[in-house]
Amino acid sequence: MKESVVADFVGRVHTSAIADEDPVRGRVLLSQRRLVLATADARTTIPLSAVFDVVVGTVPGELQSFFSDSVTLAYDDGDGRQTALVEGEPDAMDRFTRVLFKTLLRDVTVTVRHPETVGGRVTDAPARTAKVSLSSGSIGFVGRSESFSVDLSAVIDYDRTSRTLAGARRPALLFRHVSDGRTVTSIAAVPDERTLNVLGRYLRLEYGEVQAEVEDLDPTAEQLEVLVSIYSAGGEAPIADVVTGDATRTSMILEDLRESGLVADGEGGAALTRKGQMVVTTYLESVNA
């Protein structure tokens, strides 16, 4: 059966078959089974089943006129681990990245528990089998009786772990995301480490950019106290419930948090933004480490 090509463009590539240390102009062909990188002097064919990791490097907007976006694939060629680099213009690389992940995770079946926790409260959600389904900016888990999807822009954290679901212990991805102002934790047990790597990288596509902004923040102890107070209330709370001392002082702190994009006005009071959720998660992890 003839393979259908799902991506075909000209960019800059580098593989072990290229003598030059820098990426060179080449054609990028992606089918449902393999990736072919062809230059004037070399041709590298990578079976997608051999790819075990994908790293996406996105250039900040102000630098896009000087540099290209890139995707690095790690794969096993039978003799050892190799890497291949693809560079291109942002629009072309965005399309290639989405199609690449969609192709790598095609027909992958996982066992999911959703939600495992809501606002820190453990639920009694059962484990279900589901197919991974990717679309632009989101990841879906399609089951026979129930399905759900998560926007990448809502993901605030994820952990690689292992879990026993449906009687089998397997590698698993535990990821936290914001839904209706609350932090929701879901878990997906996957078939192997390869799938764990690729699925984790996909969840990180947009999460990584915001995480870099969070790491540059340096909230005060008072600000953290207010953020944790809102988080403990489920991600949104009336102003009266987050007052930790002087009401005027708390109002000033909330205003500073709004200006930093960590808190917004919700229907029921002060609500953590995605960035605010990530600050609290990072703080709690450092306390519990």
Q: Give the residue from 215, 230, 261 where a domain finishes.
A: 215
CATH code at position 149:
2.30.29.30
DSSP strands (E only) in 180-245: 182-189, 236-237
91 plus 123 within the same structural domain: no
Comparing CA positions, the residue from 40, 44, 43, 97 lying closest to residue 68 is: 97
Express as a percent the part of the chain with pLDDT over 70.
92
More confident call, 68 vs 10: 10
What is the rounded average pLDDT of the residues 90-94?
Answer: 89
Q: How confident is the model at residue 136 (pLDDT cuts 50, 70, 90)?
A: confident
- pLDDT, residue 66, reads 45
Average pLDDT over residues 197-214: 83
pLDDT of residue 157: 84
Distance, C-alpha 188 to centroid of its chain:
14
Same domain assignment for residues 132 and 200: yes
Residues 127 and 168 in one domain: yes
Check whether residue 114 and residue 71 sit in a common domain: no
Q: Above 60 in pLDDT, residue 60?
A: no
273 or 130, higher pLDDT: 130
Q: SS3 string of the chain?
A: CCCCEEEEEEEEEECCCCCCCCCEEEEEEEECCEEEEECCCCEEEEEHHHEEEEEEECCCHHHCCCCCEEEEEEEECCCCEEEEEEEECHHHHHHHHHHHHHHHCCCCEEEEEEEEEECCEECCCCEEEEEEEEECCEEEEEECCCEEEEEHHHEEEEEEEEEEECCEEEEEEEEEEEECCEEEEEEEECCCHHHHHHHHHHHHHHHHHHHHHHHHCCCCHHHHHHHHHHHHCCCEECHHHHCCCCHHHHHHHHHHHHHCCCEEEECCEEEECHHHHHHHHHHHHHHHC
Query: What's the whole-number mean pLDDT along residues 100-128?
Result: 92
Distance CA 131, CA 213 (A): 33
Residues in Cβ contact with 103 at an 8 Å cutoff, skipping those fewer than 6 apart: 6, 30, 32, 48
Q: Residue 179's pLDDT is what?
A: 81
- Confidence class for position 61, pLDDT limits 50, 70, 90: low
Alpha-carbon span 18 to 127, nearest angstrom: 47
- At residue 85, does pLDDT exceed 90? yes
Task: Examine the domain organization and report whether 116 and 205 are in the same domain.
Answer: yes
165 with 256, same domain: the answer is no
With residue 86 as reference, give the H or E element that holds it.
strand 81-88
The pLDDT value given to residue 58: 59
On whether both 206 and 231 belong to a single domain, the answer is no
Does position 1 have pLDDT exceeding 50, yes or no? no
Write the pLDDT tens digit of every residue in 235-254.
788 888 886 678 888 889 99
Boundary-marking domain end, from 54, 83, 104: 104
End residue of a domain, out of 71, 104, 137: 104
Q: Are residues 198 and 247 in the same domain?
A: no
Total number of domains in the chain: 3
What residues make up the domain containing 188? 109-215
Tell me, yes or no, whether 161 and 253 share the same domain: no
47 and 75 together in one domain: yes
Could you read off the pLDDT of 141-199 as tens digits, one per residue? 999 888 999 988 888 888 999 999 989 899 999 998 888 777 889 999 999 999 999 99
Phi, psi of 9, deg, nearest 5: -155, 170
Decide if pLDDT at 76 tops 90: yes
200 with 283, same domain: the answer is no
Instruction: Give the span between the Cα atoms of 16 and 69, in whole angstroms.
Output: 20
pLDDT band at 213 (very low <50, low <70, confident <90, very high): confident
What pLDDT is recorded for position 121?
Answer: 86
Q: Are residues 76 and 162 in the same domain?
A: no
- Check whether 100 has a pLDDT greater than 80: yes
Task: Report the percent of the chain where pLDDT is more than 90.
Answer: 54
Q: Is the pLDDT of residue 64 over 80?
A: no
User: What is the model's pLDDT at position 235?
Assistant: 78
Mean pLDDT of 63-68: 48
